Structure 1
Amino acid sequence: MVAHLIQFATDHYILVAIFVVLLVALLVNELRRGGQSLSNGQLTALVNADKALVIDIRPSKEYSAGHIVGALNIPQDKIASRMTELEKHKEKTLIVVDAMGQQSGAVCGELIKAGYTAAKLSGGVSSWKADNLPLVK
């Protein structure tokens, strides 16, 4: 099996090189786009020190079913139009939270471009629930 893989790589070195370059480019793009990822513990520490504001970008229905204490609900599709609401929190880190941590990177990128300090919760609300941390309704 490994011998076949090595043989393929040597026979098709140009394809392998293109694949590696594209993979690295994709990884670099994703890392630059999404902002810093925070663990549940890091989020808690920042919020407790009053250095962060949690922004929940899930739809209002999901937010109402359970959200992190003190989180502000701004659905993802309304983030651009409601950016002015965040002006009073410019000195804080805005921590973007979604259901599973998949959409928060794009919103972080928008906030960073607008001049905010932003980060995302790794794993979203699902990781918060998995760690048995409190949600309020």
Structure 2
Amino acid sequence: MDRFPEFVSQNLFLVMAFVGLTVFLIGSVVSRFLRGYKEVTPAQLTMLINRENALVVDLSPLADFEKAHIPGSRHVLPSQFDPENKELAKVKDRPVVVVCRNGMSSGSAAQRLVKAGFTRAYALAGGVAQWQAAELPLVRGKA
């Protein structure tokens, strides 16, 4: 422990990188708890659909949605996604799971649901691509 200050002074860049990564990791863990929605796996989504009649909102581009989507999901264009919509307002107490093609934009939409007062908002981690990788059923065409 006597040589710690010497180590720090000789390896300042390494120590700064370590401190930066540590702060980043702690920040990302804390933000997961504070964001208000949960990410679910395909298996967890299946349970939400079967046990609690979850509403699945798909924000994928229309062409991707028509190629393959989760059975029973409803398509909404990202530009038209509005948590204050009358149809969504009817299901504020039901689980609402937002999905997209690869899971990149569903988190921000789930966050918008939380801000609008939805008590059970979720995002599918990895999106429809992860659902497909889990070899779960997909359907084609319009919903």
Shorter chain as denominator, the TM-score bin is: 0.7 to 0.9
Aligned to 1:111: 113
Distance 1:84 1:133 in 2: 31
Aligned to 2:3: none
Query: TM-score when scaled to structure 1?
Result: 0.80
Displacement after TM superposition at 1:29 (Å): 3.1
Aligned to 2:37: 35
- For 1:1-137, what aligned pairs fall within 5 Å after superposition? 7=7, 11-12=11-12, 13=15, 16-29=18-31, 32-33=34-35, 35-80=37-82, 83-116=85-118, 117-137=120-140
Work out the number of aligned pairs and report it: 131
Kindly indicate which of the two structures has a greater share of residues assigned to helix.
Answer: 1
SS of the residue aligned with 1:49? helix
Distance 1:122 1:81 in 2: 20
Distance 1:9 1:19 in 2: 19
Unaligned runs of 5+ in 1: 1-6
Aligned to 2:4: none
Query: TM-score when scaled to structure 2?
Result: 0.77
Aligned to 1:3: none
| Structure of larger gyration radius | 2
Distance 1:9 1:80 in 2: 53
SS of the residue aligned with 1:95? strand
Displacement after TM superposition at 1:120 (Å): 1.0
Cα deviations by residue, 1:31-67 (Å, 9 ceiling, x for unpaired): 5337211111111111112431101011122111111
CA contact (8 A) 1:34 1:105 kept: no
Distance 1:61 1:71 in 2: 15
Displacement after TM superposition at 1:25 (Å): 2.4
Which letter does structure 2 place at the counterpart of 1:39?
Answer: T
CA contact (8 A) 1:57 1:73 kept: yes
